[in-house]
Amino acid sequence: MIVILFALIASLNADAFDTTISFPRYTFDNTTQILTWDRTKTDNVVTVDWNAAPYPFGGPDADELNVFTKQGVSVTSETLAIKDYVTIPDDTYPRYKYRTSGVFEFHTAVLAAYYGLNVVPSDYYYTECGPYEYREETETHSEDPLQINPSDKPAFVVGINDVNCYGTIGGEIEQGEEQGLVDDHGQCRTNCVNGDPLEQGTYGKALLTYSGDELVNDEDKLKKLIAKFGPVSYFSAGMYVLYGWRTEEYSQTQFLRFGIVDEQLQFEDTIFRPMDSIRFAYSETFPEKIEAYNPVHSDPQGEQQCATDTVPTDGCFCTPENYPPLMPIRSQKDLWEKSEIVKLSAFE
């Protein structure tokens, strides 16, 4: 009887200190826009022990850690690319939710930490091309797809597209007589605004995504999660991304976080508080640093660009030969002589 009792206690203690995270291995059909978790496959999840090395972003016992230094990215309120994209959309509900649920900042931080990319994720891409149905397949049955919003399942398998590729204007939607947010979205494009394939400006499809109710009830565990998985997105009277920590006098830990608050990008320190409803990513093989999509390299002669006075506002690059009216500041003669490619936004 005593042996059984001790065995039961040991089992309960083991369950209370489960140190593994299971990442679903989703697949995504970009034609049907269905996100699927096929649980009949033996490799349908990737289970990772956060309490064991390696810690790719730094040691959890370090006095300070910043996940962005892994790939050599400077991330501050002045350098982060999304600093000029903090206005909350007021046209469609999918875009509104993407920007208010913290997914926008989460995608931004993960791309910077894992790939060294300081880019602006396109909310139009994720809400026009992302998942609107979710299905789980088990040994006993295949569920009918459930309707979801793309932000409900912020899976990287969908891909995160650069705003320099997808642009800043979405597809057409039917606007009814009602006022406010429209619960609809435009049709997913097949190319960047300059004609390049979307894949050239899409990142992160190999990353796995955890989004759930994992309880973080002590700061040592939080440090290990950050050191293991990188940026951690969570809710605390607003959506924030934790990206490291520093140790102050008397060994007090200040965690580093940023978020968009009242349409302002804010970086600040915070003390530890228990949390749940968190998100983070994972790569089975840590990726190499990559270069961001650059439409100048893709279309150096401007052959696909400057057809109208609206195309350049989507991020294309213009030459005076293609669209002279868009060169109001520098002299036409100077541009002609140097055959210089100039981005319109430089003159806005």
Tens digits of per-residue pLDDT, 77-95?
999 999 999 999 999 999 9
Torsion of CA 105, 147, 189, 260, to 10 degrees: -20
Quickly name the fold that domain 20-282 has: Cathepsin B; Chain A (3.90.70)
Question: pLDDT by residue (tens digit) across 184-205?
Answer: 889 999 999 999 999 999 999 9
Q: What is the pLDDT of residues 3-48, one digit of tens each?
A: 444 344 333 333 446 899 999 999 999 999 999 999 999 999 999 9
3-state secondary structure of 4: helix
- What confidence score (pLDDT) does residue 95 get? 96
**Higher per-residue confidence, 143 vs 46:** 46
The beta strand positions in the chain, using DSSP E, are 20-24, 27-29, 34-38, 45-49, 64-66, 133-137, 146-147, 160-161, 202-203, 208-212, 232-235, 239-247, 253-261, 264-270, 278-282, 317-318, 342-343
Q: CA 232, 242, 22 angle in degrees (round to 5)?
A: 15
Q: Are 215 and 223 in contact (CB under 8 A)?
A: no
Extents of the domains making up the chain = 20-282, 299-347
C-alpha distance from residue 121 to each of 86, 159, 271 (Å): 12, 10, 29
27 close to 136: Cβ distance less than 8 angstroms: no
